[in-house]
Amino acid sequence: MFVKICGLSTIQDVEAAVRAGADAVGFVLTASPRRVSPEQARRLVAAVPEGVLTVAVFRDEPLDQVRRDAREAGVGAVQLHGEHPASAFAELRDLGLTLVRATSAAAAAGASCGDFGEDLLLLDSPVPGSGESWDWSALGEAPPAGRWMLAGGLAPANVAGAVALARPWGVDVSSGVEVRRGVKSPELIEEFLREVRAAGRG
């Protein structure tokens, strides 16, 4: 199962995520306690080995800023949070990066990955970035088609149950592997990956 660890802000965070076996790491380039600058993100990206996807996360920034910051950061993917139209993804396609559409599960009922031209779909809680758990079971009844990630309130203690209920292609975590807001725990990252891998084998 694909695993993304998001909101990383230090080299130590990156090393912990890579060591634990993450498939992708995310850097927040929008208003957040986890925000990093494009310059900081570039330094973090340089510590990520080939084969691990690097993702710049945006919300509500103008597309010209997204384009500029993503290039400066040197990431392999752009994640757009919110209700962006399909034209936004079409406009960014020439960057040659993986495009991730992140939206609330409620807004994406009956969704399929690729509906807006995205490469990956991320379904979050009704309050994205809040770290609040929500009812994942509805997704399991009619899961999106294609490559989609479950996010919102995931943590080592509940991710196996969430995977069993929602049956996602991948999972995304940020606050669930923090000791306090914005500060990642290598131990929690490792535990999260271990629980996901065990759930996948199950």
Residues designated catalytic = 6, 124
**Separation CA 136–CA 154 (nearest Å):** 10
CA distances from 190 to 13, 151, 158 (A): 11, 17, 14
**Separation CA 64–CA 74 (nearest Å):** 16
